[in-house]
Amino acid sequence: MNKKEMTSSMKTRKLITNIIVHVCLTLLSLIWLVPIAWVVMQSFSGTMAPTSDLIPKSWSLNNYIKLFTDTSIFNFPKMFKNTFIIAVFTCLISTFFALSVSYCMSRLRFKMRKKYMNIAMILGLFPGFMSMVAVYYILKAIGLSEGAMIRVALVLVYSASSGLSFYIAKGFFDTIPKSLDEAAYLDGCTKFQVFTKVTIPLSKPIIVYTVLTSFMGPWLDFIFAKVICRANAEYYTVAIGLWNMLEKEYLNSWYSCFAAGAVVISIPIAILFIFMQRYYTEGLSGAVKG
Amino acid sequence: MFGISKKKEFENPYSLLDAVTKGGISTKLSMVVMGLGNIMHGQIVKGLAFLATEIAFIWFMIQSGINCLYMLPSLGTNAQQKVYNEELGIYEYIQGDNSLLILLYGVATIFLIIGMIFMWMSAVKSAYKTETLAKRGKHVNNLHEDLKELLNERLHCSLLTLPVLGVLIFNILPLIFMICMAFTNYSKEGKHLVLFDWVGLTNFAKVLNFQDSIGQEFWSVLGWTLIWAVFATFLNYVLGMILAIVINRDGTRLKGLWRFCFVLSIAIPQFVSLLVVRTMLKDSGFINNLLSQLGLITKPLPFLTNATWARVTVIIANLWIGIPYTMMQVTGILQNIPAELYEAAKVDGANAFVTFFKITLPYMLFVTTPYLITTFTGNVNNFNVIFLLTGGAPVPVGATAGKTDLLVTWLYKLTVDQQYYNIGAVIGILTFVVLAIVSLVTYRNTGSYKNEEGFQ
């Protein structure tokens, strides 16, 4: 009798805790989801200016139509094309850079290895924008700051320093057993063959992760793009376009279009992100554990 | 040969010192005419490549390199001049010196010279190696074998060349260029935007001086940056961990759904979500509107306009960004904590709070110190959150930095908007110094520093 009472009281206590936990989680998720819901609602709003209501008073698809057809002030389709081209090339170059550097740091042993890793760590401590102005003048000096070369310049800026972000991929390569490499060497493979035929096929998660992050980079950055594009509106990327829609002179006629653009950009990015989240968590917990 | 080089790791049996002291005639000649030694012993393509590099370098130095170096100490003296052309009856501009370009080309030339010295060293070593091998009657590699070696023993050379070149041109060169700027008077103050000079440590003295107006701003921005970084790092860390634990606990249903809700907010590009949050926090924004409709407030709360409010707001808004990140990253590690520890605590009658503070937190702190340092560094350099949410506002009248400005956003304003390039560069260097001290002190005290290879 006594025992039964205790288990039932424990059960009610457990039930109450569970209810409290679930209510808290629901409230928290609401806080986290409201801004996202709000931007989606705003993108379907009938008014162009920002509103302060969660649910708009009138609904329409005009914002999306205006975004893709009204090219007089913000040429969104062109920006989209620019960003896409830049992202594809950035993705190719930086994946190659990041994977080769991580492989060298993880598997090859040579004189400059430790020094390179230390230098990379030191460079990481400097604020990234510190050299932004200097980068612009370097691009200007080699003739990449005008016209169509701006695209080349942006690709270079986004991919050139990917040789410094090798930690996650290196952590991943470290977990591939070295005995596999040794077996391949015994079979007469060169180091390059081991890299392309043993390591790469085993590293699909980290390759997917590297490809996706580098592809997403140009869609997310607006600082470097702004400094390098300056007034050349023809070569703007999506991020600068959206940022400019919030300038004072456009705010009241373009706010809902900003929301529509944000939704258009966020959907693919969010899908990519959720898809690669697994690889991210794996790579990171691997790197921390060593 | 490989037997020797394996015993002493990475030691080259053909060192520069040996080449200089013991090298024969072909090595000695290679010191002047690079690649000659290689050509004499049959490595024609390699030798010609060395020679071509030398010729190109000399041609460059004569064409512009020497001039660039010569201008570097003075950074140019001729200002742009207006001269009256009597024949045409108009004023003509005679182009003056541009100190910025002189500095840039000067630094780039020094880079090239250093690169050339390395090239020269490898040319001499290579000549000495072929000479020794030929003297001993051993096989000298032909071009095909050299190329094959690049895919095998020297694979790191082929794989690293392009990435290192990228880092050199787009990271290190600009960085050194900016560091040089910290020692000049390149700013709009005194109209030194075209022609400027070396001024030594004056800028550092100015920024670190409590009496100077820039100095006062620096110390207050530095103080706020550190407060921000500590709060942003540790609040996110602890709260994110608690969230992960709550979602992971046995009784919680729909784990995947909860995780998805939180992760969704980081899947949205930061500049979108932060700009949206900014609009929601405005005086006439969604949150003020909601609170007044509920009758909780009569006039709008100054979320982003009052200094203290704005500081608290950015820390809280950063929780919105950061907690899901931490949750995502620590979930895997949390599951690695030995279950015996928790069972033992349960037997001893510890409640959830005691277990968290006595077991989970110490364990996590022990395992994730490197991650915490990276997050701390990331937060000191957290440009997006501040720039997109407040833009540093509220800015006191006449000041260059706002009340919520971090060192990085201040640096951005100083260089891009206000053209105080020299002060901006000093701020960048000092940020680096602060971060380097914090990271070094913490790294030295962690286990993972003491045995890096231990995990491999």
Instruction: Please say whether the beta carbons of B398 and B179 come within 8 A.
Output: no
Determine whether the interchain pair B104/A159 forms a contact, defined as Cβ–Cβ distance below 8 Å. no
Select from B276, B289, B372, B433 the residue whose CB has the most chain A CBs within 10 Å, as the one to mutate to test that interface: B276
Determine whether the interchain pair B265/A52 forms a contact, defined as Cβ–Cβ distance below 8 Å. no
Determine whether the interchain pair B163/A39 forms a contact, defined as Cβ–Cβ distance below 8 Å. no
Q: CA B259 to CA B153: how far, in whole Å?
A: 47
Q: CA B95 to CA B291: how far, in whole Å?
A: 62
Instruction: Please say whether the beta carbons of B50 and B37 come within 8 A.
Output: no
Using a 10 angstrom Cβ sphere, with 0-12 exposed, 13-18 middle and 19 or more buried, the burial of residue B1 is exposed
pLDDT at B11: 66
CA distance B270 to chain A (A): 7
B413 CB contacts (<8 Å, ≥6 apart)? B392, B400, B401, B405
Which residues does chain A have within 8 Å of residue B174's beta carbon, measured at their own beta carbons?
A: 131-132, 134-135, 138
Which residues does chain A have within 8 Å of residue B320's beta carbon, measured at their own beta carbons?
A: 31-32, 35
pLDDT at A6: 62
A123 CB contacts (<8 Å, ≥6 apart)? A164, B167, B171, B172, B175
CA distance B42 to chain A (A): 26
**Smallest CA–CA distance from B171 into chain A, residue:** A161
Determine whether the interchain pair A285/B329 forms a contact, defined as Cβ–Cβ distance below 8 Å. yes
pTM of the model: 0.83
> Tokens 């990253």 label which residue?
B329
Task: Kindly report the number of other CB atoms within 10 A of residue A73's CB atom.
Answer: 15
Domain ranges across chain A? 2-63, 64-289
Determine whether the interchain pair B439/A123 forms a contact, defined as Cβ–Cβ distance below 8 Å. no
CA distance A287 to chain B (A): 10
* Phi and psi torsions of B198, nearest 5°: -75, 135
Partner residue facing B289 (CB), from A35, A52, A161: A52
CA distance B406 to chain A (A): 11
A246 CB contacts (<8 Å, ≥6 apart)? A254, A255, A258, B275
Determine whether the interchain pair A277/B428 forms a contact, defined as Cβ–Cβ distance below 8 Å. no
Instruction: Output b/e per residue, B197-222; b: 16+ Cβ within 10 A.
Output: eebeeebeebbeeeeeebeebbeebb
Structure tokens belonging to residue B402: 């706002």
Partner residue facing A104 (CB), from B159, B170, B371: B159
Ranges of chain B with pLDDT below 50: 1-7, 452-456
Q: CA A289 to CA A71: how far, in whole Å?
A: 51
Residue B376's Cα: distance from chain center in Å? 14
CA distance B173 to chain A (A): 9
Instruction: Please say whether the beta carbons of B34 and B118 come within 8 A.
Output: no
Hey, what domains does chain B have and what are their CATH numbers? 2-181 (no CATH), 202-455 (1.10.3720.10)
Cis upstream peptide for B394 (omega within 30°): yes
Select from A52, A223, A254 the residue whose CB has the most chain B CBs within 10 Å, as the one to mutate to test that interface: A52
Ranges of chain A with pLDDT below 70: 1-6, 280-290
CA distance A289 to chain B (A): 7
B204 CB contacts (<8 Å, ≥6 apart)? B182, B426
Determine whether the interchain pair A103/B159 forms a contact, defined as Cβ–Cβ distance below 8 Å. yes
Report ipTM for this prediction: 0.84
Helices B361-380 and B307-334, packing angle to 10 deg: 130
What are B85's strand-pairing partners? B90
In this structure, chain A runs to a length of: 290
**Considering the domain A64-289, what is its CATH architecture?**
Orthogonal Bundle (1.10)
* Segment B416-452, tens digit of pLDDT: 888 888 999 999 999 999 888 888 887 777 655 555 4
Instruction: Please say whether the beta carbons of B303 and B277 come within 8 A.
Output: no
Determine whether the interchain pair B167/A289 forms a contact, defined as Cβ–Cβ distance below 8 Å. no
Instruction: Please say whether the beta carbons of B310 and B344 come within 8 A.
Output: no
